Amino acid sequence: MNSMFRRLVLAAACTIGAGAVIAFAEGGGDLVVFDWSGYEDPLLHAAYTAKNGAEPTFAFFGDEDEAFEKMRAGFKADIAHPCSQSVGKWRDAGMLQPLDTSKISGWKDLNPGIMAMKNLATTEDGKAWFMPFDWGNTALLYRTDHVTPQEAQSLRIFADPKFKGRVTIGDNVDDAYALASLVIGLKDWTKMTDQQFKDASDFLRQVHKNIRLYWTDSTDIDQAFSGNEVDLAWGWGQTLIAMTQQGVPIAMNRDTKEGMSTWVCGYVLLKDAPGKLGQAYDFLNAVNAPDVSKYMVTTFGYGHGNGAGMADIDHKVLADRGYDDLGKFLDKTLFQQPVAPELKKRMVDEFEKIKAGY
């Protein structure tokens, strides 16, 4: 996600399955963490390194569907970092093993609103599968020197011909259909009808006409804004922080007429993990530590899964990041909860057609 923190050198590649390539970051430890780029930041797991004397080894994926296919093809890791809409798919595919919550310090301190979401962290049989770690929103970002606040009141701006060649959205099917669902007035995409799917896809086709690039990580979107290539983006809070620090005139509107999208990601323990189980729990404890909360909020611009840690952060800091009222935050959003496998496949297939110009 946040490549500004990629201080570790990409050191090796492992080819598996049908030519898939896994990129690794240097790390001396036995533990292999399959993650988004940027989360190798040592300050997110400092307690792990202090205890084990070495960094974990990180392997990176671009999106969860890519990660899923690589693991199906035989790639082995100990821990992975999926988001809410993929947890059920990975669990049903037999890729996960249950978590022993007695070995996770602060399990009881995890955000109660997130923990209450059905079949996410735990299933009805009481087994735990997912430890929430980071959460945030995807919302409208815009350059204030090219776009007025009045123009930025609706997500339909992404399809406005005025911004042809000046738009970027993520090369991410979940964020894309979250945007389109909001525009057509749908807040619960698990109930999407065939007509709503068509309407959402039609909107994405309109947006495609304005696309400068589909960004794949924070480096892409940050460079597009700082290089004055785009005026509008459907993006994450990290970009707002990074661009503000660089002096780029930018704003994020989380309060558009249609709303915003909220995502939750976290860590899972993979089945047949090749490393030491104790190190896996050391890592989970390290990233869930309360002192990680402020760093996550101020540096990444995301909320932290540890509710107790979040509660200790200065209210003004939380308000500046939009996380001071979780109830209000979730009430105005499309939560990216898991959709039925057949609907997800339709989204994936259709998004590929849209990006290809069909």
277-307 per-position pLDDT tens digit: 999 999 999 999 999 999 999 998 899 999 9
pLDDT digits (tens, 9 = 90+) for 172-185: 899 999 999 999 99
**Cα–Cα dist 273/123, whole Å:** 21
Confidence of residue 336 (pLDDT cuts 50, 70, 90): confident
User: Does 29 or 47 have the greater pLDDT score?
Assistant: 47
130: which 2 tokens? 């997912």
- Identify the weakest region by mean pLDDT among 103-107, 124-128, 205-209, 335-339: 335-339
- Identify the weakest region by mean pLDDT among 16-25, 31-40, 92-101, 210-219: 16-25
Average pLDDT estimate for 1-8: 34
Q: Which amino acid is at 16?
A: I
Average pLDDT estimate for 200-209: 98
Measure Cα distances from 172 to 64, 155, 216, 348 in Å: 9, 17, 8, 9
pLDDT at 328: 61
353 CB-near residues (< 8 Å, 6+ apart) = none
Q: Is the pLDDT confidence value at 6 over 50?
A: no
b or e along 296-317 (b: 16 or more beta carbons within 10 Å of the residue's beta carbon)? Answer: bbebbbbbbbbbebbeebeeee
pTM of the model: 0.79
β-partners of residue 267 are 131
pLDDT at 21: 44
Nearest to 220 by CA among 209, 202, 234, 207: 234
Confidence of residue 116 (pLDDT cuts 50, 70, 90): confident
Confidence of residue 29 (pLDDT cuts 50, 70, 90): low
